Amino acid sequence: MSSEAPVVRAVNLVKIYQTGGLPVPAVRGVDLTVEAGEFVAIMGPSGSGKSTLVHMLGGLDTRTSGEIWLDGRRADTLSESGWAVLRREKIGFVFQFFNLVANMTVADNVELPALLGGVSPRQARERREYLLGELGLADRAGASPAQLSGGEQQRVALARALANQPRLLLADEPTGNLDSRNTRDVLRLLGQVHGQGQTIVLVTHDARVASMADRVVSLLDGQIVDDGAIPKSRRRPLGAAGDVVELRS
Amino acid sequence: MRQSLLALLAKEPAHGYELKQALETIFGGAYPSPNIGQIYVTLGRLEKDGYVRSVDVEQANRPNKKVYYITATGREALETWVEEPTEGPRVRDEFFMKLVLAPMTGLSDRMALVNRQRRHYLSLMRDLRELAERTDPANRVALLLIEGAMLHLQADLDWLERCQEDLP
């Protein structure tokens, strides 16, 4: 039964921040359903509520009102420890700031969620080797997070989020600190795991990342103003006779 | 097209079809494959202006082929082109015209226009990404050209977002 349910269902989700003075609405009545295997990109200007939305979906921020259902289970009513269990079992999260465990090696950071998820040490190691390899970090496995650049830490955070093959991958600007080449590695890995059926919801302003998605959800002032598939291109297939670039007429 | 043909001819004399092939090889799939007729028309104009000359080269069992080479005047024109600063890209304004004018006529609302355009840009980005994946990793020129197109498209998307924020 629960395998038929959408991976994510948010109903009339609202978040109002009140720090001191006036209440500030960040998310104002969002309805969002994500089916298993879907890849959804969330876009919108800064301050439109994107980060708040994914943080609520991952239980990292409490909702003011509305419902969150994950994998067929009501989640918004869970306690903090209930969320912690749910996250460990079902959600991989890539934060804007990576939150790696400082006194563990890169390899241990990535393997930990898989080990907590109950797979064998050998499987955890193989999964870690695959993920770090795909992200060009195989030779950094023994390093500690402090020895890594921001871009490397961000990729380790992605590897960690995928270690457990979670039911849902949530990511907030997962390429925000990456140069072009490293972004390409991340895109390739996202494409691979999505091809293997990984459900992905990610916030991005990077059009290369968003163009990987099946569907784009646009937020403005805390509300969804567009939600739909990225259309198939109407032009001739590129490669033989591209017309993307006009160098000089 | 004039300058790129002159530049190729400054390297070595060539006939029209060789120039077409050279452009395709150097710039790869993102470059619009030049029409051979257009190449011959441009070569004709360059010849009329005294920038190139041509000689007929006999071929066994086939019609003669015309081989073009650059003149001293042509080389000077090429040097001037290389040395002068190049104009910056123009803002693509057709969509902006639509965005500003269409709502005034009641034909469409801005939100719908922006949303449709965003999805279209993302679809173009997907094409570029797939083209980059298919391009020979050793062809730095072609990949940089695609990356340039991607960066421009990103700027267009950012601008779209600003329009959505600031136009009522």
Interface check for B108 against chain A (CB to CB < 8 A): the answer is no
- Rounded CA separation A28/A168 (Å): 23
Q: Which domains are delineated in chain A? A: 37-56+79-229 (3.40.50.300)
- What is the reported pLDDT for A117? 84
Q: Which of A118, A180, A191 is nearest to A158 (CA)?
A: A191
What SS3 state is found at A20?
coil
B149 near A CB under 8 A: yes
CB B116 within 8 A of CB A169: no
Q: Are A202 and A172 in contact (CB under 8 A)?
A: yes
**Mean pLDDT in runs of 10 for chain A (249 residues)?**
80 93 94 98 95 95 96 95 92 85 94 90 95 94 93 92 94 89 89 95 96 96 96 63 48
Q: Are strands A24-34 and A8-17 parallel, antiparallel or unpaired?
A: antiparallel
Contacts with A206 from chain B: Cβ below 8 Å: 154
Instruction: Record the tokens describing residue B114, joined without a space.
Output: 């922006």
- Chain B: closest CA distance from residue A212 (Å): 7
pLDDT value, residue B30:
78
Q: Which residues contact A120 (CB under 8 A, 6 or more apart)?
A: none
H or E stretch including A15? Answer: strand A8-17
Contact B66, B55 (CB under 8 A): yes
Q: Which residues numbered 41-60 in A keep a CB inside 8 Å of some CB on B?
A: 43-45
Domain boundaries, chain B: 2-83, 94-166
Helices A106-116 and A121-134 pack at an angle, to 10 degrees, of 130
Number of H helices, E strands in chain B: 7, 2
In eight-state DSSP terms, residue B14 is: B
Angle A233-A30-A83 from CA coordinates, rounded to 5°: 110
C-alpha distance from residue A147 to each of A109, A131, A183, A187, B8 (Å):
14, 19, 20, 24, 48
A40 in Cβ contact with A217 (< 8 Å): yes
Cβ B1–A242 below 8 Å, yes or no? no
Q: How confident is the model at residue A236, as a pLDDT?
A: 55
Q: Does residue A230 belong to the interface with chain B, where contact is any CB pair within 8 Å?
A: yes
Nearest to B129 among A208, A246, A248 (CB): A208
CATH number for the segment(s) B2-83: 1.10.10.10
| One-character DSSP codes across B94-106 | HHHHHHHHHHHHT
Query: Which residues lie below 8 Å from residue A5, measured CB to CB, with a gap of 6+?
Result: A69, A71, A72
Helix-, strand-, coil-residue percentages of chain A, each rounded to 5: 35, 25, 40
Q: For chain B, which residues score pLDDT lower than 70?
A: none
Chain B: give the shortest CA distance to residue A213, in Å.
9
Cβ neighbours of A155 (radius 10 Å) = 31
Beta pairing, strands A199-203 & A39-43: parallel
Could you give the angle at the alpha carbon of B144 between the alpha carbons of B142 and B150, nearest 5°? 110
Reported as type and span, the H/E element at residue B70 is strand B62-70
Nearby residues of A217 by Cβ (< 8 Å), 6 or more positions away: A32, A40, A41, A42, A43, A224, A226, A227
Q: Give B59's strand partners.
A: B62
**Minimum Cα–Cα distance from A220: chain B residue:** B165
Give the 3-state secondary structure of residue A1. Answer: coil
Which chain B residue's Cα is nearest to A205?
B158
